[in-house]
Amino acid sequence: MIECIDLKKTYKHGHEVKHVLKGINFSIKKGEKVALLGRNGAGKTTLIKLIGGVEMPTSGKVVRKMSVSWPLGFGGGFQGSLTGYDNARFIARIYGHEYGELRSFVEDFSELGRQLRMPVKTYSSGMRARLAFALSLAIEFDCYLIDEVILVGDQNFQRKCYHELFEKRSDRALLLASHSLPQVESYCSDAIIINDGRAERYSDLREAEDIYSRL
């Protein structure tokens, strides 16, 4: 289970303080597929970063009783001066994974070819997303955090993403931030709507979509 307990996040802009999250409470159990809905700037990406441990909350806490991927779609976790291969080697070392096996998977799945020998700072956002997705899928997690990344790439790449994540790992938990209601209906059973820094969970997707469409 992953549990968010009274999560709050504020950012300072000069003399102003922006309260992005004002006390978020919910949990995700093993195997649950949950959509994260909200307008641009509502705090979806911020929440995913907090759950993934990329950022720390201003107050409150995230309790992780299952392994969680880093946020797919978030390229900031890479060391830009290192190559794709070097980043893969670093990830393999952190998670105690055999590098040769991880490298082979990343080469095949990402389809980045020679670009893997180039510094990640030279990558486009789409290339970074491909690398992030490949590295996350090369290591098994109990819960995957996705920030719109399955829209990246051509149809062939999207099919591979679907197969690896939604078919081969259908027993894993998922938190998917998306603006696409058809995508939500295809992949998720529940939805969490973030609005004005608060979160409300819905087990009825139609109800959640109706509320989201009015925001």
pLDDT at 76 over 70: no
Task: Say if residue 131 is in the same domain as residue 147.
Answer: no
Q: How many domains does the chain have?
A: 2
Residues 148-176 have a mean pLDDT of 80
What is residue 141's DSSP assignment?
Answer: -
Cβ atoms of 187 and 166 closer than 8 Å = yes
The CATH number assigned to the domain holding 15 equals 3.40.50.300
Q: Convert the pLDDT of each residue in 109-150 to its tens digit.
A: 999 999 999 999 999 878 888 888 888 888 889 999 987 655
Task: Say if residue 126 is in the same domain as residue 155.
Answer: no
Q: Convert the pLDDT of each residue in 52-63 to its tens digit.
A: 988 999 999 999
Task: Say if residue 130 is in the same domain as residue 213.
Answer: no
Q: Whole-model pTM?
A: 0.85
The confidence score (pLDDT) of residue 14 equals: 81
195 C-beta neighbours (distance < 10 Å), count: 15
The confidence score (pLDDT) of residue 133 equals: 83
How far lies 60's CA from each of 22, 73, 112, 136, in Å? 10, 25, 39, 27
Residues 60-74 have a mean pLDDT of 87
pLDDT > 90: what percent of the chain?
53
Cβ atoms of 142 and 67 closer than 8 Å = yes
Q: Convert the pLDDT of each residue in 176-200 to its tens digit.
A: 998 878 878 888 999 999 999 999 9
The confidence score (pLDDT) of residue 162 equals: 82
pLDDT at 75 over 80: no
Whole-number CA gyration radius for the chain: 17
Task: Say if residue 157 is in the same domain as residue 62.
Answer: yes
Q: Is the dihedral angle over the CA atoms 118, 124, 125, 126 positive or is it negative?
A: negative
pLDDT at 74 over 90: no
pLDDT > 70: what percent of the chain?
95
Task: Say if residue 95 is in the same domain as residue 112.
Answer: yes
> Can you tell me the distance from the alpha carbon of 158 to that of 3, in angstroms, rounded to the nearest whole number?
30
pLDDT at 77 over 70: no
Closest CA to 157 of 177, 127, 186: 127
How far lies 135's CA from each of 6, 83, 87, 132, in Å? 31, 13, 9, 5
Task: Say if residue 91 is in the same domain as residue 188.
Answer: no
Rounded to 5°, angle at Cα 79 from 78 and 84:
70
Task: Say if residue 64 is in the same domain as residue 151.
Answer: yes
Task: Say if residue 101 is in the same domain as residue 148.
Answer: no
- Domain, as residue range, for 133: 78-140
Quote the mean pLDDT of the chain: 88
Among 28-37, 71-80, 165-174, 198-207, the minimum mean pLDDT is found in: 71-80
Task: Say if residue 212 is in the same domain as residue 164.
Answer: yes
How far lies 45's CA from each of 13, 74, 106, 179, in Å? 18, 9, 25, 12
